[in-house]
Amino acid sequence: MKKIKNVFSQIYRSYLFRRTIISFLSLLGLSLIIFALARVIPGDPARMALGPRAPEDVVERYREMLHLKDPLIAQYYYWLSDLFHGRLGISLVTFRDVSADILEFLPATLELMLFTAIIQIIGTIILGTISGCRPGSLVDGALRIFAYVGITIPAFVWAILFQLIFSYYLGWLPAVGRISEDLRVPRVTGFMLIDTILTGNVRAFIDALQHLILPSLSLALGAMAQEARILRSSLVENIGKDYVVTFASHGIPYRTVCFKYALKPSLLGLVPVMGLDIASIIANAFMVEMIFNWPGISRYGITAMLRKDLNAIVGVVLVVGLIYVIVNILVDILIFILDPRIRRR
Amino acid sequence: MSRIFTQALTRLQLVIIIVIIVIAVVGGAIAALYRPTAPTLTPSPTPTPVITTPMPTTPPTTSPVVERILRVSFANVPYPDPAVGSDEASSNFLANVYDTLVYVTPNLTIIPWVTERWDVSSDGLIWTFYLRKGVKFHVTGREMIADDVYFSLLRLITIGEGYAYLLAPYVDMNKTKVIDQYTIQIVLKKPYGAFLWALLRLYIVDSELVKQHIKRPGPYGEWGDFGREWLMSGEKDAGSGPYMIKEYRRGEAMILQKYKDWWNAKAFAPNAPDTVIMYGFTDPSTIRTLMARRELEITDQWQPLENYEWMINNIKYVELAKLHGGQEFYLMLNSQKPPLDDIHVRKALAYAFDYETAIKQINPYEKRAITVAPSALLGWCAPPENITYDPQKAIEELKKSKYWGQFDKYPIDYWWVAEVPWEERVALLFKSNVEGLGVGLKVNVIKMPWLSVVEALSKVNTSPHIVSIFVQTDYPEVGSMLMNRYHSKTYGTWMQNEWLYNYQPQLDRMIEDAVATLNTQERYAKYCQVMNYIFNLYPSIYLYEHTTLKAYQAYYVDWPAAKGNAPYLILGLDLEYWRINVYPEKRAELLK
């Protein structure tokens, strides 16, 4: 009995368990807030979905189907019970279950997000390290200017610029979509790159990769510039610390000191920022998705808000919340791996 | 050597360098090897059909080896279910994928389509349609019969969405019946002069195919979900029209392909597109880029004016189609709110507005509207008076008003829709004109999001004094606009802010009587009477008859609507893909 109690106590005390419980409660709270807020937006959702000329009985049927005439708390109860059955309610824009829509649109944004994350991480480390290891140099100056430009220009402006340069003027990369019109890739996972590999279609794989470049680059640049600045500052600070000076006094080359001994601790402060930036892509990608006609969940979410698609709004916000939670947990794990002090604690 | 190399570079540096090299090599290879070539020249899956009708204005090309692709942008990707969609993209999709009993010519004459002929009883209640033989559905290849028409009608009315509102109030499904395999009798509850127009929206589905995909239980009782989920999935269509679904990329595009076994295949334009791609985006920079790359043939109608002008001025052979149609822009005056409850004030506001400036300075492509419905509609007649900007007359009218001398107590709220920025300029012009009269009238210009406008217009006491909105007709007769704009059925919707309670029930009766009249000339005469009756109440200020603008590739696309040769007054019928000629060889020339 004592053993079992111990096990439970260990589980309770375990980081992941606590995080999961807190995350679940956060998501529940988020769903409640967004559920209430979505219903404050003016307009009758059923009438808006069906148009001004739809007969009143049909509109009424929708109101009943969505429980719009019930008190808010009852509506929330119905929604929750649906949620536990794997349904998120009917979308008033696509006229099917929101969960089906999310499953359809989420992979496109996740794929974009992952590709953006790769560009962002690589770019940040390269730029931040080069700049931070040579503070005050010409390269540092150039990279700082780039960083300022990157931070100040929003992603959708980059998207338009890249589209103009690489699609319109140079004609190197496609302007819209996930894959060219003449290619058909059977949907397996919804991730175009994976599906092209699974179906063994090399041409489609390269085509899909080409389609990913511009939107991901547009989304990555701003965050990359900001994070490179953080990494630079952190590196500059660490390079001046006693342990680094000691390494250098032992005759270890500056490059090695910088890249090997100063970089790792400098990354610690960056990881949470990077994690949040990557997670934010899912919510902030809507303009980029619009410009590149990317059928992702971010664009779906914005359409839902503009059309007062109640269930879709709540569904999308929940997914965004869930992604934030997952990314935060991953960030914590990463910090746990990177920082021996936390491991010891 | 390798030792020296590893000494010089740390592991991390090596990794970084390798990653950069890999990215550069892969990126370079992708960009270089797969740089999009000029045209997509792929063998045509089907030979180009024999030239019959209509004749293109540009001579047909001799080489049929390239696929003819037509790409068009819309505000959204269409809804594939004919009982659900009624927006522009869906209307266009449905008109090209599904057949209807009747159709319409470019000069707005109703003609038999999958019906060979029809009879109508003397009271106008019983309509008998005799179906054409040999009309085959896309997926099953089955012949269309009267059961399919009955099922489609029942399905549309039961679901009650999309275009159901055009038929549901009139059709008596209890009495409507199939007479034989090729004959159906549709019985109406009351006479309906525009019934044939309404039938343009009865898209006939393959009933057997849809029945196979019905999910039970569903919201429609014994009919389960009426096959709605399956049709909405866009996996296949259930139509028999000139085009069929090739692929539905949800949220991205609808791809159609030519249906070579269409019953009316001889009507295909000789160079009609083999593939049509209907995109669902309107972002101006994307549209511009695609037009410049010749990867979009016809744009949507939602571009800012500057974008259209940029395209026609900077992209060679891009021209602007001006489709003057069935939409009108109104300043809707709330007749229940002081001081607008006084007809003299409403009349004065009509005289106080500078229409010429509103057209020349704000929307140069629009045509001046002069009465309750657009002049392009059938049954239209000129108003009893041509209202022009006349401040003196406006003051004279105001003097007759009961509010004269106390206008400062009744400020007028003018709402413009926040999502349409140019409307603010109209509002400010109105404010300047009205306040310029110098009689104490004050106008508060208020920017209001569309959702709030819709919400406010649902009740008379929350409706503003004035709101400016475009309204579209459902069919190309004045009666449609009268029903939408001034019948009490649309009170509480965004289609009217006038709240003409004081003139009811007479106004409703007049409109209903006109719409129910079977004899066309008689109906048009009644429309005219109603129009003039409403005009004399001065319930609205008529500003623009909307001209829909769409940029298109004039060099290699022969688009009848751009030359006025299409029934574009009917939503979606400006793009009858089967009547459009596309010349990929000419496109290739431009890309060289």
B53-105 pLDDT per residue, tens? 344 444 444 444 588 999 999 999 999 999 998 999 999 999 999 999 999 99
Q: What's the pLDDT band for B43 if we cut at 50, 70, 90?
A: very low
- The answer on B106 and B11 residing in a single domain is no
Average pLDDT on A43-69 reads 82
Which pLDDT score, from 0 to 100, does residue A9 have?
A: 64
How many other C-beta atoms lie within 10 A of the C-beta of residue A191? 19
CA–CA gap between residue B129 and residue B185 (Å, rounded): 6
Here the CATH number for the domain that contains residue B193 is 3.90.76.10
Which chain A residue is nearest to residue B276, measuring alpha carbons? A181
CB B437 within 8 A of CB B404: no
Q: Which residue has the higher pLDDT, B392 or B46?
A: B392
Task: Place B41 in a pLDDT band, splitting at 50, 70 and 90.
Answer: very low
Tell me the Ramachandran region of residue B192: left when phi exceeds 0, alpha when psi lies from -120 to 50, beta otherwise: beta
DSSP line for B541-583:
EEEEEEEEEEEEETTTEE-GGGGT-S-TTSTTTT--GGG-EE-
Q: How many CA atoms lie within 13 A of A10 on its CB side?
A: 6
Asked, for residue B528, whether it belongs to a domain, the answer is yes
| Type and span of the H or E element at B451 | helix B450-456
The count of CB pairs under 8 A between chains A and B is 154
DSSP state of B503: G
Q: Residues B143, B12: one domain? A: no
pLDDT score of A289 more than 90: yes
Return the pLDDT at A345: 62
CA distance B481 to chain A (A): 12
What mean pLDDT value characterizes chain A?
Answer: 87
Q: Do A206 and B30 touch (CB under 8 A)?
A: yes
H/E/C letters for each residue in chain A? CHHHHHHHHHHHHCHHHHHHHHHHHHHHHHHHHHHHHHCCCCCCHHHHHHCCCCCHHHHHHHHHHCCCCCCHHHHHHHHHHHHCCCCCCECCCCCCEHHHHHHHHHHHHHHHHHHHHHHHHHHHHHHHHHHHHCCCCHHHHHHHHHHHHHHHCCHHHHHHHHHHHHHHHCCCCCCCCCCCCCCCCCCCCCCHHHHHHHCCCHHHHHHHHHHHHHHHHHHHHHHHHHHHHHHHHHHHHHHCCHHHHHHHHCCCCHHHHHHHHHHHHHHHHHHHHHHHHHHHHHHHCHHHHHHCCCCCHHHHHHHHHHCCCHHHHHHHHHHHHHHHHHHHHHHHHHHHHHCHHHHHC
The Cα–Cα gap between B298 and B563 comes to 14
Residue A241 sits at the chain B interface (C-beta within 8 Å) = no
Confidence at residue B34, expressed as pLDDT on a 0 to 100 scale: 42
Nearest to B362 by CA among B431, B437, B421, B299: B421
So what's the ipTM on this one? Answer: 0.80
Q: Is residue B154 part of a domain?
A: yes
| Block residue for tokens 């004045």 | B478
CA distance A237 to chain B (A): 20
Cα–Cα nearest to B168, from B67, B83, B256: B83
What is the spatial distance between Cα B471 and Cα B137, in angstroms, rounded to a whole number? Answer: 35
Number of domain units in chain B: 3
Residues with Cβ within 8 Å of B360's Cβ and at least 6 positions away in sequence, in order, are: none
Last residue of a domain, one of B203, B222, B240: B240
Q: Does residue B588 surpass a pLDDT of 50?
A: yes
pLDDT tens across B351-384, in order?
Answer: 999 999 999 999 999 999 999 999 999 999 999 9
Average pLDDT over every residue of B526-537: 97
3-state secondary structure of B130: strand
Taking CA atoms, A16 is separated from A121, A224, A276, B571, in Å, by 25, 29, 19, 57
- Given this model, what pLDDT does residue B371 score? 97
Give me the CATH number covering residue B414: 3.10.105.10
- Compute the average pLDDT of residues B413-423: 92
Q: Fold for A98-307+333-344, please state it.
A: MetI-like fold (1.10.3720)
Q: What is the pLDDT of residue A54?
A: 79
Where does residue A272 rank: exposed (0-12), middle (13-18), buried (19+ CB within 10 A)? Answer: middle
- Helix H, strand E, coil C: the string for B142-162 is CECCHHHHHHHHHHHHHHCCC
Q: Please indicate whether, in this complex, the C-beta atoms of A95 and B228 are within 8 angstroms of each other.
A: yes
Name the more confident of B109 and B454.
B109
Question: Is B280 a member of any domain?
Answer: no
Mark yes or no for CB contact A53/B484 under 8 Å. Answer: yes
* pLDDT per residue as tens digits for the range B545-569: 999 999 999 999 999 999 999 999 9
* Angstroms from A276 CA to nearest CA on chain B: 24
8 A C-beta contact, residue A309 and residue B303: no
Q: How far is CA A23 from CA A61, A271, A278, A321, A334, in A?
A: 36, 20, 18, 9, 18
Q: Quote the pLDDT of residue B65.
A: 59
Which pLDDT belongs to residue A1? 65
Q: What is the pLDDT of residues A60-73, one digit of tens each?
A: 888 888 888 888 88
Per cent of chain A over pLDDT 90 is 33
**CB–CB contact B12 A263 (8 Å):** yes
List of long-range contacts for B253-258, beta carbons under 8 Å, 24+ apart? B253/A177, B253/A181, B253/A293, B253/B77, B253/B277, B253/B278, B253/B279, B253/B280, B254/B77, B254/B78, B254/B80, B254/B89, B254/B93, B254/B278, B254/B280, B255/A181, B256/B93, B256/B96, B256/B97, B256/B577, B257/B45, B258/B46, B258/B578
The more confident residue out of B17 and A274 is A274
**CB A209, CB A131: distance < 8 Å:** no
* C-beta of residue A268 within 8 angstroms of C-beta of residue A338: yes
Contact B160 A55 (CB under 8 A): yes
If asked whether residues B187 and B103 sit together in one domain, one would say yes
DSSP B361: I
Highest mean pLDDT among A13-17, B12-16, B412-416: B412-416
Minimal Cα distance from A174: which residue of B? B36
Which of A25-29, A167-171, B333-337, B489-493 is the most confident on average?
A: B333-337
Q: What is the distance between the alpha carbons of residues B555 and A96, in angstroms, rounded to a whole number? A: 41
Instruction: Give phi and psi for B188, each to the nearest 5.
Output: -100, 155
Average pLDDT rounded to a whole number, residues B2-23? 47
pLDDT at B9 over 60: no
A201 touches chain B (CB under 8 A): no
* Close Cβ partners of A36 (under 8 Å, ≥ 6 residues apart): A72, A76
pLDDT over 80 at A292, yes or no: yes
**pLDDT tens profile B233-287:** 999 999 999 999 999 998 899 999 999 999 999 999 999 999 999 999 999 999 9
- Cβ B412 vs Cβ B466: under 8 Å: yes
Please list every residue in chain B whose beta carbon sits closer than 8 Å to the beta carbon of residue A164.
285, 289
Range of the domain at B213: 99-240
Q: Is the pLDDT of residue A180 over 50?
A: yes
- Domain final residue pick, B183, B208, B240: B240
Q: How far is B362 from B358, CA to CA, in rounded Å? A: 5
Do B164 and A293 make contact, defined as CB atoms within 8 angstroms?
no
Question: B281 lies in a domain?
Answer: no
Lookup: tokens for A193: 């790159």
Bridge partners of B448, per DSSP, are B417
3-state class (DSSP) for residue B33: helix
Whether residue B117 sits in one domain with residue B12: no
What tokens appear for B225 in the block? Answer: 């979900």
B331 and B430 assigned to the same domain: yes
Contacts of B418 (CB under 8 A, 6+ apart): B447, B448, B449, B450
Are B352 and B435 members of one domain?
yes
In a domain, B93, yes or no: no
Selected for mutation to probe chain A from B13, B87, B157, B289 (highest A CB count within 10 Å) is: B289
Contact A149, A221 (CB under 8 A): no
Q: What's the pLDDT score for residue A11? A: 57
Q: Give residue B74's identity as a one-letter amino acid code.
A: F
Q: What average pLDDT does range B96-122 have in this prediction?
A: 96
Containing B344, the helix (H) or strand (E) segment is helix B343-352
Domain assignment of residue B369, yes or no: yes
Work out the average pLDDT over B304-310. 93
pLDDT at A8: 61
Check: CB of residue B434 under 8 Å from CB of residue B412. yes
CB contacts under 8 A, B 3-32 vs A, are 9-13, 16, 19-20, 23, 27, 30-31
B474 contacts A181? CB cut-off 8 A: no
Does some domain include residue B535? yes
Question: Which residue's structure tokens are 């109508």?
Answer: B120
Nearest Cα to B486, choosing from B370, B373, B384, B376?
Answer: B373
Interface of A with B in 299-318 (CB under 8 A): 299-300, 308
Amino acid A282: pLDDT: 84
> What is the pLDDT, as a whole number, of residue A12?
56
Other beta carbons less than 10 A from residue B21's beta carbon: 10
pLDDT given for residue B414 in this prediction: 98
- Does residue B35 have a pLDDT over 70? no
Annotated domain spans of chain A:
44-85, 98-307+333-344
- Burial of A260 from C-beta contacts in 10 A (0-12 / 13-18 / 19+): middle
